[in-house]
């Protein structure tokens, strides 16, 4: 049963009060956002949420993870094999209905153990136009309906991950109104590197009502694994890694960019980096599997026959396992970073 949240008329002050009322249910909502397409938002949403749900299932935990797609392309549904599934995928109809006040969010249950998804699709192309057609008061009311709809589900989930589209400011604002944390993925090109500037207007508008939203950091996506050197430390005997080449250059640029933007000292460039492997990425999307599931397939004792049976591209067990490890490391770093921020906030509250 979902929580019933009353629908009150909306002045700006009342809107802030309504959002404050539901904010306790939205403590662990993570948004992936960048003003540029192709930066890895959907892949990170699918694989981070799926990897975390898998870890919870393996630990026999009852805690659950929800992924929400706000991108009209619906590619997250391809990654988890729900896109075009009869009776499951609604092409974003429930999100539109929620905004219009005549429906609730559709949740596809158990796409994997401990893992649910709110689907989207081409219907969301209508949402921006619909919201823009409303006057200020009714647009704000529609946005509040969406936030409250997510909050009404949130008690079922320990974590909620949201995939936000590039270029659609109305949908970006929706995501930022719900989120507690946001992460910007970047690839190597300059347009992606300066991705925050592409969402600055949406962030400014959302922050008027969601004062809790915070920038968690930047994650480097689709970088060459060859730029990492493994060595044994002569003094300690520990196995360590050292970045070089493009990885090292971009990490340095990102740190300089955070300084230029005068970002909060807590905003980080994640140590974890998602490597580039086109064949694995294509197979995962074409056949509806997460990267960790591709790694499972690649470790099959009779992988060559299994690859032919599943019509997969040629990739090695090491490559698939390595990419799965990247997502596992990033997910663990994301979770530990949020928990550390939560602990810092709790200590600050106790000392105030």
Residue 135 CA to residue 126 CA, distance in Å, equals: 17
Residue 270 CA to residue 185 CA, distance in Å, equals: 10
Question: Can you give the pLDDT at residue 7?
Answer: 44
Residues 120 and 100: beta-carbon distance below 8 Å = no
Question: Can you give the pLDDT at residue 1?
Answer: 35
DSSP 33: -
Domains and CATH numbers, the chain: 14-277+337-351 (3.40.50.300)
* Per-residue pLDDT tens digits of the chain, which is 352 residues long: 344 444 445 688 889 999 999 999 999 999 999 987 788 999 999 999 999 999 999 999 999 999 999 988 888 999 999 887 777 889 999 999 999 999 999 999 999 999 999 999 999 988 888 998 999 999 999 999 999 999 999 999 999 999 998 878 899 999 999 999 999 999 876 665 566 667 888 999 999 999 999 999 999 998 887 887 877 777 787 877 788 888 899 899 888 888 888 888 889 999 999 998 888 888 888 888 899 988 887 777 776 676 666 666 655 567 788 899 999 999 999 999 999 999 998 998 888 7
Q: Please, is 302 exposed, middle or buried when counting C-beta atoms within 10 Å of its C-beta (0-12, 13-18, 19+)?
A: exposed
Question: Can you give the pLDDT at residue 4?
Answer: 40
Residues 105 and 111: beta-carbon distance below 8 Å = no
Question: Can you give the pLDDT at residue 196?
Answer: 64
Residues 142 and 100: beta-carbon distance below 8 Å = yes
DSSP letters for 5-16:
-------HHHHH
Residues 164 and 70: beta-carbon distance below 8 Å = yes
Instruction: Tell which residue, 163, 145, 138, has the closest CA to residue 104.
Output: 145
Provide the 10 A C-beta neighbour count for residue 214. Answer: 17
Residues 9 and 126: beta-carbon distance below 8 Å = no
Question: Can you give the pLDDT at residue 310?
Answer: 64
Strands 181-186 and 115-118: unpaired
Instruction: Tell which residue, 239, 168, 173, has the closest CA to residue 204.
Output: 173
Question: Can you give the pLDDT at residue 260?
Answer: 83
């Amino acid at each position: 049963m979902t929580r019933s949240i009353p629908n009150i008329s909306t002045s700006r002050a009342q809107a802030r009060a309504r959002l404050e009322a539901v904010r306790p249910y939205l403590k662990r909502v993570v948004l992936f956002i960048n003003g540029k397409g192709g930066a890895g938002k959907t892949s990170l949403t699918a694989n981070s949420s799926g990897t975390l749900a898998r870890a919870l299932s393996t630990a026999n935990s009852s805690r659950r993870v929800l992924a929400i797609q706000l991108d009209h392309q619906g590619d997250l549904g391809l990654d988890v094999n729900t896109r075009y599934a009869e009776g499951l995928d609604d092409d974003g109809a429930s999100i539109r209905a929620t905004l219009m006040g005549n429906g609730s969010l559709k949740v596809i249950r158990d796409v994997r153990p401990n893992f649910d998804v709110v689907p989207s699709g081409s219907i969301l192309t209508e949402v921006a136009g619909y919201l823009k057609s409303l006057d200020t008061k009714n647009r704000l009311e529609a946005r509040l309906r969406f936030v409250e709809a997510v909050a009404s589900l949130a008690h079922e989930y320990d974590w909620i991950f949201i995939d936000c589209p590039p270029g659609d400011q109305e949908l970006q604002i929706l995501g930022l109104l719900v989120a507690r944390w946001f992460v910007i993925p970047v690839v190597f090109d300059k347009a992606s590197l300066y991705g925050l500037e592409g969402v600055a207007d949406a962030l400014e508008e959302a922050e008027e009502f969601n004062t809790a939203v915070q920038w968690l950091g930047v994650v480097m996506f689709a970088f060459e694994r060859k730029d990492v050197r493994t060595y044994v430390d002569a003094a300690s005997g520990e196995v360590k890694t050292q970045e070089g080449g493009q990885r090292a250059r971009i990490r340095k640029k990102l740190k300089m960019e955070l300084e230029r933007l005068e970002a909060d000292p807590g905003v980080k460039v994640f140590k974890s980096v998602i490597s580039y492997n086109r064949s694995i990425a294509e197979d995962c999307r074409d056949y509806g599997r997460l990267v960790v599931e591709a790694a499972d397939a690649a470790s099959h004792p009779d992988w060559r026959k299994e690859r032919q049976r599943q019509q997969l591209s040629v990739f090695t067990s090491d490559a698939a396992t390595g990419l799965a490890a990247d997502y596992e490391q990033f997910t663990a770093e994301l979770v530990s970073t949020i928990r550390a921020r939560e602990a810092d906030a709790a200590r600050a509250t106790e000392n105030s």
